[in-house]
Every structure is written in C-alpha cells, then in structure tokens.
Amino acid sequence: MLNHHEEYEKLINRFIDWAKKVDDIRGAIIVGSRARMNEAADEWSDLDLVIFSTNPEKYITSTDWLTNMGEYWITFIENDALGLTKERRVLHEDALDVDYVCYPAKGIPHLFKHPEIHKVIQRGIRVILDKDNELIQLNNIQHLEQEAFRISEYDLLNQINDFWFHAVNGAKKLLRGELFVAKSIIDSGMKRNLLYIVEIHSKAKNGLQYDTWHNGRFIEKWADPRIIAGLKNAYSYYDKTDIERSLMETMNLYRWVAMEACENLEITYPIHADEKATEWIINHIQS
C-alpha cells in the first residue's frame, strides 16, 4: 500500500517544479490539514493548494495543465470553501484528492484582509512558491490573535425561530407524502440549524474563543458528548414512520441544546415558538 503522505509530497514537488517555469503563476500556498499544526493530516486528508496567477481563469476552464502533476481520474469545478471564487477539484491517480483554488495575483494584498481567510491562515499555511515576495506577509497574519467571537442576540433568536418554522414545514411535507422533500428539510436544513446552535452552545459553555471549527469538522471532539449521543437517533431512513421519528428526535435534541445555550448567555429562549410548533406537529403527525 502506498504511503499517501509521501505521494502527496511528490505531487507537491512536481507542482513546484512545473509552476516555477510558468510565468503567470506568481505564488502558491498550501492550507488546510496538510499545513496545520493541530489536527494535522492523516492518510485520508486531501491537499488544498492555492494558486496565485495573473490568469487564474485558465486553471478553471482548462485541464491540460493537470498532467504536470501526474495522471488524474476525475476533475470538476465548484465554489471554494469560502465562496469567494471557483476551485478545480481533482482526483489524481491512487485517489490523491487535490483542491486547486485559483486567485488573481494582483489581489494578494486585499485578499488577506478578508476575515474568513485570516481564520484559514491562522490554522496554518505553507508557502511553496513566492516569485514576487508578496506571500511572506502571511507569516505575520498567521500569528495574529483571532478576533473575539461575538454572539448576537438578534441572530441567535432568528436562528431558533427559523428552526421551529422549518420543523412545521417539514411536517407538512411529510403529511403531504413528499418524503424526499421532508427528509431533505429535516436531515439537511434543520441539521444546519442544529449545527449552529451546537456551536453556540459549546462557546457559551466553554468561552467565546472555544474552537468549534467549521461545517461540523471534528464535532465529535469539541461538542458536548450528550449532543453526539443524541445525533445517533436524529437521522432517518427513507420511510414515513422513521422520518416522523427523526423529526421528533431532532426537535427534542435542538430544544435542550438551545435552552442551555440561551440560559448560559442570559438570553430569553423563545418558548412560544417552540410550544406552538411542537403542539401543531404532535396534533397532526401523531393523531
């Protein structure tokens, strides 16, 4: 079995050797797990490679350049993780997964002022190419203290009301027999609401600087163990009765997490929204 760490390093070196000879590529960095000091890469981690070019569109619209890094099996385009640009995702030989994110080189000074990019950089970066000596500033950003996290009462209550609205909405789809849509609402949209409140709960309990990562990454490590236990029953099969069960489990889990978070933050939990939504759902689904 191949050593994936070694294979990724070989791919990185092939990229560097090639990019040095390509005039429009002015710099490149590695972010994510293969640059982090904490929660570092394991054998299943992908490679997040950011290219700075005077012609970034070329690396999105064409694929001929990819063979410079070796053979590949699959490639496609999607938005990058921050939603700031497009990235080309590539599955190289032996399933080496690389996200090539392409930014305009002229935007480097402005790009690093973006708060979300600050967060990425502060988790760790690795400069692998810097033809114009512009990426050295990243070392300063990497060691800046993170801006204090703030919880807005308005946003928190808005999210809680959003959850209970969609609980009723999901129940209506279920009653209509639209299982796919109901399951999507309950197991996708409402779970995003749940993740938000789990993050708030963790910060309210452990301090606003407590690291909750993003998009549920490593949730098993940072969330309350009671929440992880509750998640075991919060998803459903594609079956009407089981979707009903998962809806109630998700509501019960969300309720105590949100109530504890509000209590710790000294914010009044919107009990009226909870009670009215729950009463309606019970009367219609369990009748």
Domains and CATH numbers, the chain: 4-142 (3.30.460.10), 153-285 (1.20.120.330)
Quick one: pLDDT band at residue 149, thresholds 50, 70, 90?
low
List, for residues 94-125, the tens digit of each pLDDT value: 999 999 999 999 877 777 677 677 777 777 88
Q: Enter the pTM of the model.
A: 0.82
pLDDT at position 141, please? Answer: 58
**Does 2 score more than 70 pLDDT?**
no
- Which residues 6+ apart lie within 8 Å of 210 measured at CB? 202, 203, 222
* Percent of all residues in the chain with a pLDDT value above 90, rounded to a whole number: 75
pLDDT (average), residues 77-104:
91
- Mean pLDDT across the chain, nearest whole number? 91
- CB of 69 closer than 8 Å to CB of 12: no
**What's the DSSP call for residue 266?**
T
List, for residues 176-219, the tens digit of each pLDDT value: 999 999 999 999 999 999 999 999 999 999 999 899 988 899 99
- Distance of alpha carbon 241 from alpha carbon 224, whole angstroms: 28
- Which residues 6+ apart lie within 8 Å of 27 measured at CB? 51, 52, 105, 108, 127, 129, 130, 131, 132, 134, 135
**Does 1 score more than 50 pLDDT?**
no
- Which residues 6+ apart lie within 8 Å of 232 measured at CB? none
